[in-house]
Amino acid sequence: MIAVSSAFVMTAADEVPASKDGITIITPARRFPMDSVRPKRNLIEKIKYYFDHTNDVKQDYKKFDWSVIGGPYYSSDVHFGIGLVASAQYRTSMSDSLLRPSNAAVKAQISTTLFYSFSLSGEHIFPGNHWIIDYKVKFQSLPTYFWGIGYSNARDDIKSKYKELSVISHADFLYHPWDSWYVGPSVDFNYFTTRDRKDNLNLWDSMQLKNTVFGVGMKLSFDTRDNVTGPNRGWLLSLAQRFYPRALGNNNHSFSSTEFELCNYQALWKGATLASRLHGNFTYGKTPWSMMPTFGDVAMRGYYYGRYRDKCEADITFELRQKVWRRNGLALWIGAAQVAPDLKHFTFNKILPNIGIGYRWEFKKNVNVRVDFGIGKGTTGFEFNINEAF
């Protein structure tokens, strides 16, 4: 039996027997407004509904909340490809409402240049917020170019084509002793090998074509950001000292690195954030070519990644991020960088400029999918990625 009124839909399955004064009666267990009866969605409607709600703010937080997006893209380095990105936010303690959620991102790519990569990165926050693991693991096969070492070689644009196979992994185990401060050990494992080298092989000189690198060190940071994946306000100051001794099997190379980062985020007008970043990475000793600081990803988008590399690198970026309409936003940035064999060789006439514009789509709350177009000195480039650059 189906009974229909102008306001409600009730089915026989909703009728529940009840007893009153020894007489059995039938009463409706619940009623639903007619407009709450949803027709089944087809595939297109399901996909649309999924993406319409990936950034919903959950009132009843799940322990693990994840979403997936994928599709074609174009990058100046690897040309046309297909990318798949999965982003997750999860809680290690459901009873602690003040504990910020942990996050993880998985990214897979393959392109027409036979480039492919897989990466996993994130921040795992333990219950009580006393320990944090900040980690990244990436495997890739990348057809690319080598310009040699130093500013002058990169400017000459004489390059050697090769295929790079690499495994890059890094983790910081940070203890949270008091408000906003974190300190703890840092570990690195990196593996690089080259294949199919062509053209201008003299650029490689006597460099080792395969490098296996282990490193250990310490990291200290001060972090007041309101969130990690898309901050709108706060500060980040970090200082990391890492050592790569020959005793750990580093291809008979002993070297070390000092890396610092200073970021600030200021809310301006409605929907606008000014993000700024000062960064430097300085290595000492017999640094293998594959571990020399470079740029083209986080900093200086639009430069070919790895073109400019040397024992020391420094960069600065200012980026205006503006929400435009619903989940859509834009970013404008300006920056500069330089590489040199040591600090005393940093000179004004070797500064490399950078400007760019990017599109943002809010995939999840505080998680953006971004497409950036950058312009540098004699170069331009596109980049597709997840989360803000810094």
Write the single-letter amino acid at 138.
K
Taking only the tens place, the pLDDT of each residue in 350-386 is 999 999 999 999 988 888 989 999 999 999 998 888 8
User: Which of 260, 280, 386, 383 is CA-nearest to residue 333?
Assistant: 383
Max mean pLDDT among 51-55, 98-102, 157-161, 380-384 falls in 157-161
Task: Please state whether the predicted TM-score (pTM) of the whole model is above 0.75.
Answer: yes
SS in 3 state form for 182-209? Answer: EEEEEEEEEEEEEEEEECCHHHHCCCCC
Mean pLDDT of 156-166: 94
Q: What confidence category does residue 58 fall into, taking pLDDT thresholds of 50, 70 and 90?
A: low
The C-alpha angle with vertex 363 and arms to 81 and 225, in degrees rounded to 5, equals: 115
Q: What confidence category does residue 1 fall into, taking pLDDT thresholds of 50, 70 and 90?
A: very low
pLDDT for residue 22 = 47
The two tokens of residue 23 are 């007489």
pLDDT for residue 13 = 41
Taking only the tens place, the pLDDT of each residue in 210-253 is 999 999 999 999 999 998 888 999 999 999 999 999 888 787 78
pLDDT for residue 49 = 63
Q: Is the pLDDT of residue 119 over 70?
A: yes
pLDDT for residue 42 = 74
For 182, half-sphere exposure in the C-beta direction (CA atoms, 13 angstrom radius) is 23
Are the C-beta atoms of residues 72 and 353 closer than 8 Å to each other? no
Q: Is the pLDDT of residue 4 over 70?
A: no
- The position carrying tokens 């070519």 is 289
pLDDT for residue 30 = 46
- The position carrying tokens 């649309």 is 48
User: Which of 304, 290, 287 is CA-nearest to residue 191?
Assistant: 290
pLDDT for residue 5 = 34
